[in-house]
Amino acid sequence: MVKRKTADFNSFICFDFETTGLAQNSRVIEIGAVKVRDGYLVSRYSSLVDPGIAIEPVITRITGINDEMVAGKPKVEELIPSFYAYTEGLPLVAHNAPFDCRFLERDALAAGYRFDHDVFDTLSFARRILPGLASYRLADLTAYLGIRHDQAHRAWCDAEAAARLYMFLKAKQEKNAPG
Active site residues: 153
Q: Are strands 12-19 and 28-37 parallel, antiparallel or unpaired?
A: antiparallel
Burial class (CB in 10 A: 0-12, 13-18, 19+), 43: exposed
Number of H helices and number of E strands within the chain?
7, 6
Instruction: Judge whether 73 and 49 are in contact, CB under 8 Å.
Output: yes
For the purposes of burial, counting CB atoms within 10 Å of the CB of 67, is it exposed (0-12), middle (13-18) or buried (19 or more)? middle
Q: How far apart are CA 50 and CA 21, in angstroms?
A: 14
Distance of CA 149 to the CA centre of its chain: 13
Which DSSP symbol is given to 19?
A: E
